[in-house]
Chains A and B, each alone.
Chain A
Amino acid sequence: MADDSIAIVRVRDVLMIAMPADPDDATVSALQEKVLQVIEQSEAKGVILDISAVETLDSFFARTVAETVQMVGLMGGRTVIAGMRPSVAITTTQLGLTLGGAMTALDVDRALDMLSNMH
Chain B
Amino acid sequence: MSIKQQREVQIRSDNDIVATRRTVRAVAQSLGFGITDVTRIVTATSELARNVVLYAGSGVMRWRELGMSGRVGVELTLEDNGPGIADIEQVMQEGYTTSGGLGLGLPGTKRLMDEFEIASEIGKGTRITVRKWRR
Contacts and interface: CB of A to CB of B under 8 A. Distances in A.
A10 interface: no
Contacts of B17: 24-25
Interface residues of B, number: 27
A96 B94 contact: yes
B36 A86 contact: yes
Contacts of A90: 36, 39-40
Interface residues of A, number: 22
The DSSP consensus for interface residues of chain B is helix
Interface of A: 22, 24-26, 55-60, 63, 85-88, 90-92, 94-97
Return the 8 tightest CB-CB contacts between A and B, nearest first: A95-B108, A87-B39, A58-B46, A25-B14, A87-B36, A96-B104, A24-B18, A91-B39
Interface of B: 14-15, 17-18, 21-22, 25, 35-36, 38-40, 42-43, 46-47, 50, 94, 101-102, 104-105, 107-109, 111-112
Given A58-B50, A86-B36, 17 more contacts: A22-B18, A24-B15, A55-B42, A56-B21, A58-B46, A59-B47, A59-B105, A63-B101, A63-B102, A91-B40, A91-B43, A91-B112, A95-B104, A95-B112, A96-B107, A97-B102, A97-B108
